[in-house]
């Protein structure tokens, strides 16, 4: 059976903690592949254009043989995209293969899962993997969903996309938080300024 991780997010911008978390989960769960899916028009967040976020994700994650970046949500950029619909589309893409999907969520997202479209259907389509980071609420997630989720703690890193955007606006260094290719892309395209 092929084991595929699904790591969706705004990736606004993608940073080193995304890569570390993805590699850690890939290793822990013995995944064959991790698919990064930059969100289209995110129903709960505002961000820069999906084209910029897709380009940065390809720069950030494209150099790992087990990592793949998909534009499955961005192709539907005229509409709001929902995780449940993305998983259903991926099931169709892999219909002729024996695949098990693992949906990777941060502890912050699992706690608001009840606000997502058809949250119960997500549990049918994929095994839910919750990753934790500093300040996250892994214990609350575990008590809320107990046996329905698997928690994979990740190495501690105090990095977030919002912190990176703030540092860029304040003209402070983001070196070592994002790849040099993503940093160059941000400055060339004058993003987050």
11-57 pLDDT, tens digit each: 999 999 999 999 999 999 999 999 999 988 655 566 688 899 999 99
Helix (H, G, I), strand (E, B) or coil at 33: strand
Does residue 167 lie within any of the structural domains? no
Does residue 161 lie within any of the structural domains? no
Q: What tokens appear for 66 in the block? A: 């087990």
Does residue 97 lie within any of the structural domains? yes
pLDDT at 134: 46
Does residue 186 lie within any of the structural domains? no
Question: What is the separation, in whole angstroms, between the first and last Cα of the chain?
Answer: 45
Does residue 96 lie within any of the structural domains? yes
Name the nearest CA neighbour of 60 among 14, 12, 5: 14
Does residue 177 lie within any of the structural domains? no
Instruction: Give the range of the structural domain holding residue 46, as residue numbers without chain letter.
Output: 2-156
Q: Where are the beta strands (DSSP E) in the chain?
A: 2-9, 33-38, 67-69, 99-106, 127-132, 149-153
Can you give the C-alpha Rg of the chain in angstroms? 16
Instruction: List the CATH number of the domain containing 46.
Output: 3.40.50.620
Name the nearest CA neighbour of 14 among 136, 160, 187, 176: 160
Give the burial string for 82-118 (b: 16+ CB within 10 Å, else e).
bbbbbbebbeeeeeeeebebbbbbbbebbbebeebee
- Residue 74 to residues 4, 71, 156, Cα–Cα distance (Å): 20, 5, 30
Q: Give the integer Cα–Cα distance in Å for 72 and 43.
A: 16
pLDDT at 77: 60
pTM of the model: 0.88
Helix (H, G, I), strand (E, B) or coil at 125: helix
**pLDDT tens for each residue of the chain, 193 residues long:** 999 999 999 999 999 999 999 999 999 999 999 999 998 865 556 668 889 999 999 999 999 999 999 999 998 766 778 999 999 999 999 999 999 999 999 888 888 999 999 999 999 999 999 997 545 577 778 778 888 999 888 877 778 899 999 999 999 999 989 999 999 999 999 999 9
Q: Count how many residues are written for the chain.
A: 193
Q: What tokens appear for 87 in the block? A: 């998983």
Does residue 172 lie within any of the structural domains? no
The answer to whether 105 and 129 have CB atoms below 8 angstroms apart is yes
Does residue 175 lie within any of the structural domains? no
Question: What's the total number of domains in the chain?
Answer: 1
**Which position has the token pair 């608001």?**
112
């Amino acid at each position: 059976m092929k084991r595929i991780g699904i790591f969706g997010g705004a990736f606004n911008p993608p940073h080193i903690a995304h890569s570390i978390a993805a590699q850690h989960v890939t290793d822990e769960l013995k995944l064959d592949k991790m698919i990064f899916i930059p969100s289209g028009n995110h129903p709960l967040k505002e961000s820069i254009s999906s084209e910029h976020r897709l380009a940065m994700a390809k720069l950030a994650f494209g150099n790992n043989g087990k990592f793949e970046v998909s534009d499955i949500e961005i192709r539907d950029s005229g509409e709001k995209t929902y995780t449940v619909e993305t998983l259903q589309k991926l099931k169709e893409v892999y219909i002729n293969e024996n695949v098990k999907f693992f949906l990777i969520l941060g502890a912050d997202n699992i706690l608001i899962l009840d606000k997502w479209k058809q949250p119960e259907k997500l549990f049918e389509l994929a095994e839910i993997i919750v990753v934790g980071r500093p300040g996250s609420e892994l214990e609350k997630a575990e008590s809320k969903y107990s046996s329905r989720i698997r928690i994979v703690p990740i190495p501690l890193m105090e990095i977030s996309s919002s912190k990176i955007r703030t540092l860029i606006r304040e003209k402070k260094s983001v070196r070592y938080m994002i790849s040099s290719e993503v940093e160059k892309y941000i400055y060339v395209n004058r993003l987050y300024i």
